[in-house]
Chain A
Amino acid sequence: MQKDSIVIGLALIVLVLAFALALGLNQTFRGVSTQPQTSTGHGVVYAFVVQPTGEEGDETAGQAAVKGVEREV
């Protein structure tokens, strides 16, 4: 009976010490911070959309435009 009481008492002391250790370590390291993990960059895609006109036979507007430039040159 006397030994049982000693065992229970010692077990309680172990629990209290373990709790205090965990609490203290948490306070010690709680200041650790982290940086944002992502970054972004931006670009642009350019395009010029034209619709085929059907002029000059079955040429497309783009082909006709190229021919026009060639004639001027």
Chain B
Amino acid sequence: MMEEKISNFIIAILAIAIVILGLLLIWRVPVIRMAGMATDTGTVSATVSIENSITITDAAVNLGTIITGQSNSSDSGSDWFVIENNGSVRIDLNMEVDETNLTAAASEIYCKCVSGSNQSGQCPITNYTNCESTEDGSILIATCLKDADAVDEVNAGVNLSVALTETAGAKTLATTFTATTNQSSSCTSS
């Protein structure tokens, strides 16, 4: 008697499942059609895209003349990189400086992030931190930088410490900024 009740219950559940799955199959999957049904098909094409884009609106920092054994930084000359998020998403920003034009391994390059009036998000590197491309790799200088015009900029500074053994002459150091889309809930909800 008990077995008969359970079986009836199971049969009912399975029958309901079949009906639901069948309806879903017909409703949600356009490639499956019932025989004899007059259909025609069209295609809606869409590309869901996000634009991750930055512009370095001030792309040069001139540290002037530095005597070997001494250092100079963006602070002393008030000369900063200005990076603008002109995409459509919030970004994290990394920075690195290529040290290959420095001859002395003891010469050091440091980077930092500076809060500006048009800045948003967080600036985790506010003290000069090693950022040489080969020796240190890129460092995260800003997180969750917004894309709205009024708050889409961040300033970055460089400090160059010249070793006593560095060769004299003009030094040109290529700097690379990399923006990574930040779609974490903690960023997009702020």
A-side interface residues toward B, CB under 8 Å? 3-4, 6-7, 10-11, 13-14, 17-18, 20-21, 24-25, 27-28, 32-52, 60-62, 65
What interface size band does chain B fall in?
Answer: 35 or more
Q: Are A21 and B67 in contact (CB under 8 A)?
A: no
Q: A37-B50, A44-B174 are in contact. List 6 more A-B contacts (CB 8 A).
A: A3-B7, A17-B21, A33-B47, A47-B65, A47-B66, A49-B169
Min distance, Cβ B162 to any Cβ of chain A, angstroms: 5
Q: Which of B29, B51, B167, B168 contacts A24 (CB 8 A)?
A: B29
Q: Are A7 and B53 in contact (CB under 8 A)?
A: no
Of the A-B pairs whose beta carbons lie under 8 Å apart in the complex, a sample of 17, sorted by A's number, is A3-B8, A7-B7, A10-B18, A17-B21, A20-B25, A21-B21, A39-B54, A39-B87, A42-B56, A42-B59, A42-B177, A43-B81, A44-B60, A44-B61, A47-B66, A47-B72, A49-B169
Min distance, Cβ B137 to any Cβ of chain A, angstroms: 15
- A52 proximity list for chain B (CB < 8 A): 67-69
- A49 proximity list for chain B (CB < 8 A): 65-68, 162, 166-171
Q: Are B81 and A50 in contact (CB under 8 A)?
A: no
> Known contacts A14-B18, A24-B32, A61-B67: does B51 contact A44 (CB below 8 Å)?
no
B-side interface residues toward A, CB under 8 Å? 4, 7-8, 10-11, 14-15, 17-18, 21-22, 24-25, 28-32, 47-56, 58-69, 72, 81, 83, 87, 97, 109, 158, 160, 162, 166-181
